[in-house]
């Protein structure tokens, strides 16, 4: 059997990770723009549309072949992403441990026992991960707007100084930037 590849060294360089769409990152493969096939984002292996592949001792389509390739060769998308170097993922060891425990659907108490921390600390880590998720979505959306909005006359009339001043002057208040007036999507950070 082929030796497992080192994922961090073999990320498909034909499309930089930052250029991948969210959907492509969590699926683990990209569909070529020409629609002619699929490439694994972790090693670049290409599966051509219209060809029949042999996977798990039966014949499958190209898309099914790339999905099974990711599971069989890389141990699945979760394992591939969580194994990425800190330089790429930005995740600390404790964050990775928490995500692995959450992926295994482990109970807070069990996670605490395994990691040698209290259930309250586990809940705090989970809360921080949910907070990171929300912040990452907002950041991602801002970057998408910047990169995809082609209007020539974009203007944001509010400067960062004005935003900060409003927050300071009116920390609880009636401003659009106040958490109180935002949709519950942005204000509810519940434990799951």
Footprint on this chain of Zn ion (rule: CB under 5 A):
40, 42-43, 45
Nearest-approach distance from CB 58 to Zn ion, in angstroms: 20
Task: Rank residues 27 and 126 by Cβ distance to Zn ion and give the closer one.
Answer: 27
Task: Rank residues 6 and 135 by Cβ distance to Zn ion and give the closer one.
Answer: 6
Nearest-approach distance from CB 77 to Zn ion, in angstroms: 11
How many Å apart are CA 175 and CA 83, to the nearest integer? Answer: 42
Nearest-approach distance from CB 43 to Zn ion, in angstroms: 3
Nearest-approach distance from CB 140 to Zn ion, in angstroms: 24
Task: Rank residues 30 and 43 by Cβ distance to Zn ion and give the closer one.
Answer: 43
Tokens of 120: 């309250």
Measure the CA angle with vertex 85, ends 48 and 192; round to 5°: 90
The residue nearest Zn ion at its CB is 40
Greatest CA separation found in the chain? Answer: 67
Task: Rank residues 40 and 122 by Cβ distance to Zn ion and give the closer one.
Answer: 40
Helix residue ranges per DSSP H, 75-118:
77-82, 86-89, 93-103, 108-115
Burial class (CB in 10 A: 0-12, 13-18, 19+), 107: exposed
Tokens of 159: 């400067």
């Amino acid at each position: 059997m082929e030796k497992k590849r080192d994922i961090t060294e073999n990320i498909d360089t034909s499309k930089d990770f930052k250029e991948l769409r969210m959907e492509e990152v969590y699926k683990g493969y990209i569909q070529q723009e020409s629609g002619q096939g699929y490439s694994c984002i972790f090693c670049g292996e290409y599966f051509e549309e219209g060809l029949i592949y042999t996977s798990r001792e039966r014949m499958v389509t190209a898309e099914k072949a790339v999905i099974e390739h990711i599971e069989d060769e890389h141990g699945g998308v979760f394992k591939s992403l969580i194994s990425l170097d800190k330089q790429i993922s930005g995740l600390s060891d404790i964050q990775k441990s928490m995500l692995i425990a959450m992926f295994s659907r482990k109970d807070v108490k069990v996670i605490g026992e395994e990691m040698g921390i209290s259930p309250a600390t586990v809940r705090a880590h989970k809360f921080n991960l949910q907070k990171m998720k929300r912040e990452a979505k907002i950041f991602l959306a801002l970057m998408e707007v910047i990169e995809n909005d082609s209007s020539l006359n974009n203007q944001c009339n509010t400067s960062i100084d004005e935003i900060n001043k409003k927050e300071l002057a009116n920390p609880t208040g009636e401003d659009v930037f106040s958490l109180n007036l935002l949709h519950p999507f942005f204000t509810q950070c519940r434990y799951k």
